[in-house]
């Protein structure tokens, strides 16, 4: 492992490290645009300059390897001056868009100008006008004038998604990013290009102009879109969730995540959520509806009760609910509702898996622990011959990935009593009448717990925020279904739609709303 000195500090780095990687290790800051740890080295922005002892000319740090005993600095006047004029070149044709640019607040160009630039511009030429609002495909919009031609997005489509939609066209200061003829930027990883664009040139159609980033807070979680379990950051404020971005985890997702996973925030927001509990047609608070269902469960305990579980809940929740059914209600009729069976084991070769659940392994582990062996055929037979009278379902959080939802609902609603727990609205479910209980549930960003991904890796999730405060976790629902009490309001009538009972309780609302922690470039 070679040792080098960076700005007077001795650092030991891995064999084959570049100077910019060594500076990450030493914690020294360095200007850079085109280098990204997940992509090949392009060396095009020329900002990451350093001085190396014994070398008369400054060098770029991203494309120079560390050798034993190398003495490097990036704090000399010569380096500072070179970076300053490098930035001046980058900004020559850059529009003064900051007030209306979606990247403002997390823009690499703004950040680096404030840190390394602050020069008096000497350009007298008019700026080159380029294309604005270029529709690159279903998810991304390009503003060519803001692009600093770092080529990160092009390298991403070449090296990571391997879809090759993007290229650099024309020469000199007429160069622009674009898509090859007739080929839109359209792949399930396209929004990673927006994350890695260091300026506001690539923006997400879904997010742009919806919030200024400084009005958002963020919290870490794990994507529940499939069994890969990509690490994510969720961005939210009092109006709900606005976007999801990947967080680096070498063991799981590296730097990336898929576009489908980014949509997970949509089903968490209030407009998509079940807010009221229902017990035999009467609306009530979610907790009250769960408690109300205890009577029917007590009366049908034993083999007449079936529990149907989707794999979108946490390990701790499965333990609580399965234990309750096995020990309190004396039934081992617990069934795993597998969605999209035909594509369940598929994999796109990068991250996205056909098993669209975050915790299949966790569910199977708890079922095994309790000696559950029942199959879906047993359930269908029990429903057909009437031996199963009461069915309790922990339905999907993300209904979009359960294409057979309507069919299953139809099958399960043949039971005399149907107790259905899930977080999202569903018209067909709400239209059911008779002995039906509907219990609104919390989503993955509203609770703590553990997911086990496809490879058996256990990942903890922490509550990020609360969107529907009265909704239940499966653990809370298990207690109430068993007739026990919970220290939470259960009897309050459902609130009128113009009021939000969680308005004052939300943790994040007590804090400064304008705090925003910046991600790294």
Distance CA 251, CA 375 (A): 33
Residue with the CB atom nearest ligand SF4 in the bound state: 261
Distance CA 262, CA 223 (A): 8
C-beta closer to ligand SF4: residue 351 or 393: 351
Question: What is the token pair recorded at 131?
Answer: 């294309």
Tell me: does residue 490 bind ligand SF4 (CB under 6 A): no
**Per-residue DSSP letter, 468:** S
How far the first Cα of the chain sits from its last, in Å, is 27
Distance CA 348, CA 516 (A): 34
Q: How far is the CB of 41 from ligand FES (least distance, A)?
A: 7
Question: Of residues 223, 241, 279, 474, which one binds ligand SF4 by CB under 6 A?
Answer: 223
C-beta closer to ligand SF4: residue 312 or 413: 312
Cβ burial, residue 513 (10 Å; 0-12/13-18/19+): middle
433: left (phi over 0), alpha (psi -120 to 50) or beta: beta
Distance CA 473, CA 466 (A): 12
Q: Which does 388 bind (CB under 5 to 8 A by kind): ligand SF4, ligand FES, none?
A: none
Q: How far is the CB of 345 from ligand SF4 (least distance, A)?
A: 14
Q: How far is the CB of 34 from ligand FES (least distance, A)?
A: 4
Q: Which does 36 bind (CB under 5 to 8 A by kind): ligand SF4, ligand FES, none?
A: none
Distance CA 412, CA 418 (A): 7
Q: Which stretch binds ligand FES (CB under 6 A): 43-51, 87-95, 301-309, 375-383?
A: 43-51
Question: Of residues 23, 58, 62, 392, which one binds ligand FES by CB under 6 A?
Answer: 62
Q: How far is the CB of 307 from ligand FES (least distance, A)?
A: 55
Distance CA 451, CA 29 (A): 36
Tell me: does residue 42 bind ligand SF4 (CB under 6 A): no
Q: Are 471 and 200 in contact (CB under 8 A)?
A: no
Beta-strand runs (E) in 238-291 = 240-246, 277-279, 282-284
Distance CA 354, CA 197 (A): 29
How many chain residues touch ligand FES (CB under 6 A)?
A: 12
Question: Of residues 6, 32, 268, 366, which one binds ligand FES by CB under 6 A?
Answer: 32
Closest by CA to 306, choosing from 277, 286, 336, 278, is 336
C-beta closer to ligand SF4: residue 18 or 253: 253
| DSSP 3-state of 299 | helix
Distance CA 279, CA 433 (A): 10
Distance CA 435, CA 437 (A): 7
C-beta closer to ligand SF4: residue 225 or 440: 225
Q: Are 304 and 506 in contact (CB under 8 A)?
A: no
Tell me: does residue 38 bind ligand FES (CB under 6 A): no
Tell me: does residue 312 bind ligand SF4 (CB under 6 A): no
Question: Of residues 202, 268, 275, 372, which one binds ligand SF4 by CB under 6 A?
Answer: 202
Q: How far is the CB of 400 from ligand FES (least distance, A)?
A: 39
Distance CA 105, CA 235 (A): 14
C-beta closer to ligand SF4: residue 24 or 260: 260
Q: Which does 32 bind (CB under 5 to 8 A by kind): ligand SF4, ligand FES, none?
A: ligand FES
Tell me: does residue 35 bind ligand FES (CB under 6 A): yes
Tell me: does residue 351 bind ligand SF4 (CB under 6 A): yes
Question: Of residues 6, 39, 48, 222, which one binds ligand FES by CB under 6 A?
Answer: 48
Tell me: does residue 154 bind ligand FES (CB under 6 A): no
Q: Which stretch binds ligand FES (CB under 6 A): 41-49, 80-88, 243-251, 274-282?
A: 41-49
Q: Which long-range contacts (CB under 8 A, 24 or more apart) does 240-243 make?
A: 240/265, 240/268, 240/269, 240/270, 240/467, 241/265, 241/266, 241/268, 241/269, 241/445, 241/465, 241/467, 242/207, 242/210, 242/211, 242/216, 243/204, 243/206, 243/207
Question: Of residues 157, 228, 310, 413, which one binds ligand SF4 by CB under 6 A?
Answer: 228
Q: Which does 60 bind (CB under 5 to 8 A by kind): ligand SF4, ligand FES, none?
A: ligand FES
Q: How far is the CB of 33 from ligand FES (least distance, A)?
A: 5
Tell me: does residue 149 bind ligand SF4 (CB under 6 A): yes
Q: Which does 311 bind (CB under 5 to 8 A by kind): ligand SF4, ligand FES, none?
A: none
Q: Which stretch binds ligand SF4 (CB under 6 A): 8-16, 147-155, 334-342, 443-451?
A: 147-155
Q: How far is the CB of 227 from ligand SF4 (least distance, A)?
A: 7
Q: Which stretch binds ligand SF4 (CB under 6 A): 46-54, 199-207, 433-441, 477-485?
A: 199-207
Question: What is the token pair recorded at 119?
Answer: 């020069």
Distance CA 58, CA 47 (A): 11
Tell me: does residue 177 bind ligand SF4 (CB under 6 A): yes
**Per-residue DSSP letter, 496:** P
Question: What is the token pair recorded at 305?
Answer: 């009760």
Q: Which stretch binds ligand FES (CB under 6 A): 39-47, 122-130, 188-196, 381-389?
A: 39-47
| Binding stretches for ligand SF4 (CB under 6 A) | 147-153, 177, 197-199, 201-202, 223, 225-226, 228-230, 253, 257-258, 260-261, 351-352
Per CB under 6 A, residues contacting ligand FES are: 32-35, 43-48, 60, 62
């Amino acid at each position: 492992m070679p040792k080098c000195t960076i700005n007077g500090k001795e650092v030991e780095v891995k064999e084959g490290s570049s100077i910019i990687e060594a500076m990450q290790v030493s914690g020294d800051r360095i200007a850079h645009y085109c280098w990204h740890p997940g992509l090949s080295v392009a060396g095009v922005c020329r900002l990451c300059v350093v001085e190396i002892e014994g070398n008369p000319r400054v060098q770029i740090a991203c494309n120079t390897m560390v050798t034993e005993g190398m003495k490097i600095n990036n704090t000399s006047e010569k380096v500072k001056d070179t970076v300053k004029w490098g930035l001046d070149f980058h900004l020559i044709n850059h529009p003064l868009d900051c007030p209306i640019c979606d990247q403002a607040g997390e823009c690499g160009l703004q950040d680096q100008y404030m840190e390394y630039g602050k020069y008096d511009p000497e350009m007298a030429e008019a700026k080159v006008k380029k294309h604005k609002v270029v529709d690159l495909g279903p998810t991304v919009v390009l503003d060519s004038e803001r692009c600093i031609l770092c080529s990160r997005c092009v390298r991403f489509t070449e090296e990571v998604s391997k879809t090759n939609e993007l290229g650099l066209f024309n020469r000199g200061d007429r160069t622009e990013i674009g898509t090859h003829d007739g080929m839109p930027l359209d792949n399930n990883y396209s929004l990673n290009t927006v994350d890695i664009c260091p300026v506001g040139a690539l923006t997400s159609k879904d997010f742009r102009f919806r919030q200024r980033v400084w009005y958002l807070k963020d919290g870490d979680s794990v994507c529940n879109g499939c069994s890969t379990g990509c690490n994510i950051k969720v961005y939210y404020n009092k109006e709900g969730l606005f976007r999801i971005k990947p967080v680096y985890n070498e063991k799981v997702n590296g730097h990336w995540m898929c576009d489908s996973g980014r949509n997970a925030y949509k089903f968490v927001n209030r407009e998509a959520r079940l807010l009221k509990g229902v017990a035999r047609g009467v609306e009530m608070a979610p907790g009250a509806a769960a408690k109300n269902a205890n009577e029917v469960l007590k009366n049908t305990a034993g083999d007449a009760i079936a529990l149907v579980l989707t794999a979108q809940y946490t390990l701790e929740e499965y333990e609580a609910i399965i234990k309750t059914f096995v020990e309190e209600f004396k039934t081992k009729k617990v069934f795993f509702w597998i969605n999209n069976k035909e594509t369940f084991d598929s994999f796109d070769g990068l991250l996205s898996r056909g098993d669209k659940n975050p915790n299949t392994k966790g569910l199977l582990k708890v079922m095994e622990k309790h000696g559950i062996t029942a199959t879906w055929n047993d359930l269908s037979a029990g429903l057909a011959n009437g031996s199963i009278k009461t069915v309790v379902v922990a339905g999907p959080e993300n209904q979009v990935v359960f294409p057979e939802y309507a069919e299953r609902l139809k099958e399960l609603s043949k039971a005399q009593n149907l107790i259905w727990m899930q977080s999202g609205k569903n018209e067909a479910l709400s239209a059911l009448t008779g002995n039906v209980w509907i219990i609104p549930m919390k989503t993955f960003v509203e609770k703590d717990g553990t997911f086990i991904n496809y490879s058996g890796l256990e990942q903890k999730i922490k509550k990020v925020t609360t969107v529907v405060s009265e909704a239940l976790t499966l653990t809370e629902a298990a207690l109430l279904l068993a007739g026990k009490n919970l220290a939470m309001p259960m009897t309050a009538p459902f609130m009128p739609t113009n009021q939000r009972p969680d308005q004052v309780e939300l943790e994040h609302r007590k804090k400064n709303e304008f705090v925003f922690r910046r991600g790294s470039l």
